[in-house]
Structure 1
Amino acid sequence: MMALYDNNNPFAKIIRGEIPCDMLLEGTYCVIFHDINPQAKGHLLIVPKGFYTNFEDFLTNADETEILGFFKEVKEFLNKQNIKDGFRIITNQGKDAGQEIEHLHFHLLYGERLGSLKENPIS
């Protein structure tokens, strides 16, 4: 069951300018800012401006213009920042995956050698 979108989630408030952040990009389709609890030397959050709870919601309900525009903005940002290799983009879908805020967001990790996704990978 899809969660209802909460307009008072922290990312919605950041997009509306109600909560400050270290904003690196405010585009038409997304905002990109530093994570307040970094998990790597470089850890940014990429947040669509649309009201989507998770990736499935985004792919199901956003139109093609918004989806393409979002990914083009991310690509342009990566190019401008010269982040071309050695990075990871990840999103968590649902509580079992570790999603804490029900507004779609992606973690961009970079700036150092990244280890395995799991501490104890399946053999």
Structure 2
Amino acid sequence: MDENCLFCQMIEGTIPVQFRYQDDHCFVIQDIHPLAPTHLLIIPRTHMTDLNCSSMDNRQDLGHLLWICGEMANAEGIGDDGYRVTINKGHNSGQTISHLHLHLLAGRRLGPEA
């Protein structure tokens, strides 16, 4: 855990949050600045700054995050219409929180950029 990390603070309970889903490996919340009608964040409980900080030890957790994206898409009723899963890495990509997370976007036709 990183005590200065927003997502780690959510995990610890020091920042209140409404979980859309949670398990031992990750949790899902609504993005507070949605770029689409459905914009969820899938966040691992293990603090990793970004994909460059992942290792072979994390591969099952990373696979679990992708699996949860599909499960959440189906739960939200967007699994058949299509959705986008994005991971931002670094400033130029738009990453604003230094804790690896996936964006699940859907609910409208998505162009080259969300």
Give yes or no for TM over 0.5: yes
Is 2:29 aligned against 1:37? no
List per-residue Cα deviations over 1:66-91 (Å, max 9, x = no partner): 33333333333333333313211111
| 8 Å CA contact retained: 2:73, 2:83 | no
Check whether the contact 1:86–1:114 (CA below 8 A) recurs between aligned residues: no
TM score, norm. by length of structure 2: 0.83
Please tell me whether Structure 1 or Structure 2 has the larger radius of gyration of its CA atoms: 1
Of residues 74, 89, 98, the one that matches 2:69 is: 74
How many residues were matched structurally? Answer: 113
- Aligned partner of 1:94 in structure 2 is 90
- Tell me the residue number matched to 1:56: 52
User: Which residue identity does 1:65 align to in structure 2?
Assistant: Q
Structure 2 CA distance for partners of 1:15 and 1:111, relative to 1, 3 Å: same
Matched position secondary structure for 1:76: helix
The answer to which of 18-27 and 41-50 deviates more is 18-27
Partner of 1:121: none
Is the contact made by 1:27 and 1:73 (CA closer than 8 Å) also made in structure 2?
A: no
Q: CA RMSD in A?
A: 2.1
Deviation at 1:16, TM superposition (A): 1.6
Q: Which runs of 5+ in 1 are unaligned?
A: 119-123
* Matched ranges for 1:10-29 at <5 A: 10-29=6-25
In the TM superposition, residue 19 of structure 1 has moved relative to its aligned partner by: 1.2
Aligned to 2:42: 46
Contact residue 42 and residue 109 of structure 1 kept, 8 A: yes
Structure 1 residue ranges (4+ consecutive) displaced by more than 6 angstroms after TM superposition: none
Once residues 92 and 111 of structure 1 are traced to their aligned partners in structure 2, the CA distance between those partners, rounded to angstroms, is: 20
CA distance in 1, matches of 2:34, 2:65: 23
